[in-house]
Amino acid sequence: MEYDYKNIKIEKNAGVAIITFNRPKVYNALSSSMLKEINTVVDECNADKDVKILIFTGEGRAFVAGADISQMKDYLPYQAINYLEEGHNIFRKIEALSKPSIAAVNGMALGGGTEIALACDLRFVSKKATFGLPEITLGIIPGWGGTQRLSKIIGIGRAKEMILSGDTISAQRAYEIGLANRIISDELLLQETNDFAKKIATHSTFAMKMAKDSINFGYGLCTEVASKLENQCTSQCFSTHDQKEGMQAFLEKRKATFIGY
């Protein structure tokens, strides 16, 4: 059954699902209803065998300007923890997807916007994109994985600088510190991100899952244990049609045709 989304849009083409946050009047702020729709669309894309890659982007001037403060301001701790756990579970679901995800950051990515971008595998950003975790200026701290994922991606010192200052950084600075993978002109952001996604959608989906598992679950382990994990993930690929096809195609000097297992 097709879901009637109110706060997001979804378009599927050539193995790529483009998910657009669609509350432009409030700069795509993450309300509870929007979080529920993100959760539903991620499940939908995960179950759809034709979807190989997910792209997240925003409608209007913002990617996501953060959580919906008007909804949060009067929360008591028990209400806050439920709201925070909801976001944590959804962002972790994006991070742990077997399918790669790309944040095409078209504008402001503040608070929860930076955090959802951090949960994606890659971040392609427009020249007008900005990042920030301004929660400290509201008397709280990042609560959807920002204190954890940011330090792993840009290093603990730079993460503390961003989180303790609450300052916003430019696309260029995000690229310099490794938060952004690429900077793309505003008008070409979605096109170039989509072109990249279509390219990697031709790879073996099982191999991409094993690559993500090896990276995600090996990060932080000692080298010996992480290498064992990598060996297990690599060896699992040898159980697939795609491994046989990929190596045979290489020997025959032709393009491989992968089927996902």
Just list the catalytic residues: 115, 135
How many Cβ atoms are within 10 Å of 143's Cβ, its own excluded? 20
Burial string for 211-250 (b: 16+ CB within 10 Å, else e) reads bbbbeeebeeeeeeebeeebeebeebbeebebbeebeeee
What Å distances lie between residue 41 and 86, 131, 260, CA to CA? 15, 24, 21
CA-based nearest residue to 219, from 114, 95, 136: 95
Q: Are 180 and 127 in contact (CB under 8 A)?
A: no
Between helix 205-218 and helix 223-237 the angle, nearest 10°, is 170
The separation between CA 207 and the C-alpha centre of its own chain, rounded to angstroms, equals 19
Strand partners, 177: none
Backbone angles phi, psi at 109, to 5 degrees: -130, 90
